[in-house]
Amino acid sequence: MHMFPGRLFQAVRDALHGAFNWRFEHGTDPAELVAYLSGHGVERFFLLNYAHKPNVSARLNRWNYETAREFPRAVPFAAIHPLDDDLLEVAEQALDGFDLAGFKLHLDVMGLAPDDPSLFPIYGFARERGKPVIVHCGTGGSIRLKGDELNAGRLANVLQAFPDLKVCVPHLGARETGPFFDLADRHPNLWLDTAVALAPEGVCFSRVDRQRLRQMHRRLMFGSDFPNLGHSWEKEVQAVQEIGLSEGQLQMVFRDNAVEFAGLGVGFTGQ
């Protein structure tokens, strides 16, 4: 789930409406959003936001930590920006002080390719702590950057430099899903999530080969970008259910793979 503090949440909504003309079915009140997912059987969810500019990460991370204490179903990830003042201090507070689950990087918002040298200290810090990084690559939903900056080849440079770092690419790497699946075939620590890439209404909808999706089920995670959707959350769930996976494989996608990726205990469902 994407959640932000107060006015920043509305600013993100305004930007999405301006870019995609979305009408949102859900509000921005954390209690209402958590209640909605709980009412639909979600046991745990990733709490994700991101630093859109330097020196907002520490404030976001404290909010993530405090929000997760208020709503224990949340598994909070950390925001970070490579141009944060005292970058190491921000990273240490996030992963050591607050014990957040890992880092979330939205590269298009930052205007950075995944292999930009300024990001390597962040990757290295996560690897040292045994924490994963969610790296928004691919051009699906991108506004600032183009394919040569967000493609699988640029991420391959990161995976070669940090082969034991767990990385998740949201949206199945849309619109470059094939190359990202090929990259995952070569790198066992690369994961993909399904957010707004399988439902036809999704902004990152891609006609992904279902056989490849089924083959990837051990490193495929359900994602939805809830509540920042121009369509219903249920359509995201339905799209995954229609891949053609067995019940056991669906449990991996909806629950078990996220447990492994984030280093959680049992009992995780959804994102």
C-alpha span between 98 and 93 (Å, rounded): 6
- Helical pair 152-161 and 177-186, crossing angle rounded to 10 deg: 20
Residue 268 lies in a domain: no
266, 256 contact by CB (below 8 A): no
C-alpha span between 70 and 29 (Å, rounded): 13
Residue 168 lies in a domain: yes
Q: Which pLDDT value is given to residue 169? A: 96
Helices then strands, each counted (H, E), the chain: 13, 8
CA 13-230-267 angle, to 5 degrees, is 90
Q: Which pLDDT value is given to residue 146? A: 64
Q: Which pLDDT value is given to residue 141? A: 60
Residue 270 lies in a domain: no
| Nearest residue to 77 (alpha-carbon basis) of 264, 223, 262, 233 | 262
C-alpha span between 62 and 67 (Å, rounded): 8
- CA of 255: how far to CAs of 26, 45, 266, in Å? 23, 10, 9
Residue 77 lies in a domain: yes
For residue 230, the 8-state DSSP code is S
C-alpha span between 169 and 202 (Å, rounded): 16
Residue 267 lies in a domain: no
Predicted TM-score (pTM) of the model is: 0.93
Domain, as residue range, for 13: 6-262
pLDDT, tens digit (0-9, with 9 covering 90-100), for 68-119: 999 999 999 999 999 999 999 999 999 999 999 999 999 988 999 999 999 9
- 217, with CB counted inside 10 A (0-12, 13-18, 19+), is middle
- CATH code where residue 219 lies: 3.20.20.140
Residue 1 lies in a domain: no
| Nearest residue to 191 (alpha-carbon basis) of 234, 149, 155 | 155
Number of domains in the chain: 1
Which residues does the chain have with pLDDT short of 70? 140-147, 265-271
Q: Which pLDDT value is given to residue 271? A: 40
H or E stretch at 103: strand 103-106
C-alpha span between 168 and 190 (Å, rounded): 6
